[in-house]
Amino acid sequence: MRVPDSILDGLVVIAVVALLAAVSEDSDAGRRWGVIFLTSGGLAGAVGAWNLVTRDRLKPGCCARCGYDLRATPARCPECGTRQD
Ligand SMILES: [Zn+2]
């Protein structure tokens, strides 16, 4: 199963904000933001790697982006709106 891109985008945003906060804060607060950065960045990396690994395993006739079954609507995915060219 593919993780939606919106979740991956959210994790990346959290990681970037936490990194900026970790750099600007001093001592304890900076360390806490650093932990948040490492956690969210690690999760984003894991989700991105998972999506790359599972991307090529999609069955024929399924949306390349979300994996939705496109037998009824082959031109456009009703789940995520991706055009199937
Ligand atoms: Zn789709």
The pLDDT tens digits for 18-62 are: 888 888 988 899 999 999 999 999 999 999 998 888 766 667 888
Identify the weakest region by mean pLDDT among 3-7, 9-13, 24-28, 74-78. Answer: 3-7
CA distance 13 to 57: 28
Taking the centre of ligand 1 as the mean of its atom positions, its distance from the CA of residue 39, in whole angstroms, is 28
What's the confidence (pLDDT) of residue 83?
92
Taking the centre of ligand 1 as the mean of its atom positions, its distance from the CA of residue 82, in whole angstroms, is 5
- What are the sequence ranges of the domains in the chain? 5-55
Task: Quote the pTM value.
Answer: 0.56
What mean pLDDT is predicted for residues 69-73? Answer: 93
Taking the centre of ligand 1 as the mean of its atom positions, its distance from the CA of residue 68, in whole angstroms, is 5
Taking the centre of ligand 1 as the mean of its atom positions, its distance from the CA of residue 75, in whole angstroms, is 11
Taking the centre of ligand 1 as the mean of its atom positions, its distance from the CA of residue 37, in whole angstroms, is 30
CA distance 31 to 21: 10
